Amino acid sequence: MKPIENVSQFLSAIKGDFNVRQLKDASTGAFFRGSSDGSLDLVPSLYRRANAVDLEREMVRAFINNSSHLVDKEPHNLIEWLFLMQHHGLPTRLLDWSESALIALFFAVESHEDEKSKSKDAVVWVLNPWLLNRASFRSIDILPSSNSSVMRGYEVDPFSDEINRRIKEKNPIAIRTRRNSQRSLNQKGMVTIHGSSQEALNSFCQKRKPKCLSAIPISAPHKRDIFYELIRSGITYEVIYPGLDGLSKAIIQQYLR
């Protein structure tokens, strides 16, 4: 596919995407994820580090032990603790997605002035979560929530005394999130979670279910124009990052760009 040069071309590409068309009547449609560098694999932040499982267990334990006075309502289970950790910048086995293609496009072009990525084509990934889950679990035809029994196989209990505390499930799976913050609501957040395999999601899909994942490239020289086209269309920092963080980003973008 020729790299996208404006929002209109992007919307046309989304409209014609196989997974978007396949899921137009589904209760949950396609997931979208924007990346400023289209050459990067879909690997969770935790799995970009050595000793990932041991690191995760220790970080979850430290986060739970030290955050009780900072959390108004504690998560219901270990998967929801991962959601909270991800939201606040800690490495996890999660990949963030959105149900909104335009929000994913915003994330793809947001860092258009960043020296490391401004010369590289961006990408918006389009995922069929139902096909992914069928590829990972032949017996599953649902998008489980964090409290589903399926998710127990993706937990590593940070307080367990067992010697073998490895993740039981191997393959990645798409799940429904509890949108318990205004940010996750505004971003229409969804996630995939990786199991014990550290294989990139795009590699997994290519081998198991090629049609479940597609990529829409975004032209590097046009990222800035697309960004400001989104701003003019109401996809703004205040929407993406509600609160003082978004306001600050918007002021910087307006006065210091």
Give the DSSP letter string of the chain. Answer: -PPB-SHHHHHHHHHH-HHHHHTTTSSS--EEEEES-TTS----GGGGSTTHHHHHHHHHHHHHHHHTTT-SS--SSHHHHHHHHHHTT---SEEEEES-HHHHHHHHHTTTT-TTTTTS-EEEEEE-HHHHHHHH-TT--S---TTSGGGGGG---TT---S----S--S-EEE-----SHHHHHTTEEEEE--S----HHHHHHHH-GGGEEEEEE-GGGHHHHHHHHHHTT--HHHHSTTHHHHHHHHHHHH--
Within a domain: residue 227? yes
Average pLDDT over residues 223-251: 95
The share of the chain scoring above pLDDT 90, in percent, equals 69
What is this structure's pTM? 0.93
Q: Which of 241, 224, 137 shows the shortest CA–CA distance to 189? A: 241
pLDDT at position 164 over 60: no
Q: Which of 98, 122, 124 shows the shortest CA–CA distance to 225? A: 122
CA quadruple 149, 155, 156, 161: dihedral, nearest 10: -20
Within a domain: residue 55? yes
Q: What is the structure's pLDDT at 163?
A: 46
How much is the mean pLDDT over the chain? 91
Residue 89 corresponds to which amino acid? G
Q: From edge to edge, which strands make up the β-sheet containing 122-127? A: 173-175, 189-193, 94-98, 31-35, 122-127, 213-218
Within a domain: residue 1? no
Distance, in Å, from the CA atom of 104 to the CA atom of 36, rounded to the nearest integer, reads 10
Contacts of 84 (CB under 8 A, 6+ apart): 63, 67, 71, 75
Tokens of 149: 């029994």
Within a domain: residue 202? yes
Phi-psi region of 89 (alpha: psi -120 to 50; beta: other; left: phi over 0): left
Within a domain: residue 187? yes
The share of the chain scoring above pLDDT 70, in percent, equals 98
Segment 110-131, tens digit of pLDDT: 999 888 888 999 999 999 999 9
Average pLDDT over residues 152-161: 82
Average pLDDT over residues 217-238: 97
Question: How many Cα atoms within 13 Å fall on the side-chain side of residue 54?
Answer: 4
Distance from the Cα of residue 195 to its chain's centroid: 15
pLDDT at position 182 over 50: yes
Distance from the Cα of residue 91 to its chain's centroid: 12
201 vs 141, residue with greater confidence:
201
pLDDT at position 236 over 60: yes
Question: How many Cα atoms within 13 Å fall on the side-chain side of residue 109?
Answer: 29
pLDDT band per the 50, 70, 90 thresholds, residue 165: low
Within a domain: residue 230? yes
pLDDT at position 138 over 80: no
Q: What is the structure's pLDDT at 178?
A: 81
Average pLDDT over residues 221-234: 97
Within a domain: residue 2? no
For residue 216, give its domain range: 7-255
Average pLDDT over residues 80-106: 95
pLDDT at position 157 over 90: no
pLDDT at position 24 over 90: no
Within a domain: residue 238? yes
Count of domains for the chain: 1
Q: What is the structure's pLDDT at 162?
A: 61
Locate tokens 């490239």: which residue?
A: 217
pLDDT band per the 50, 70, 90 thresholds, residue 161: low
Q: What is the structure's pLDDT at 133?
A: 94
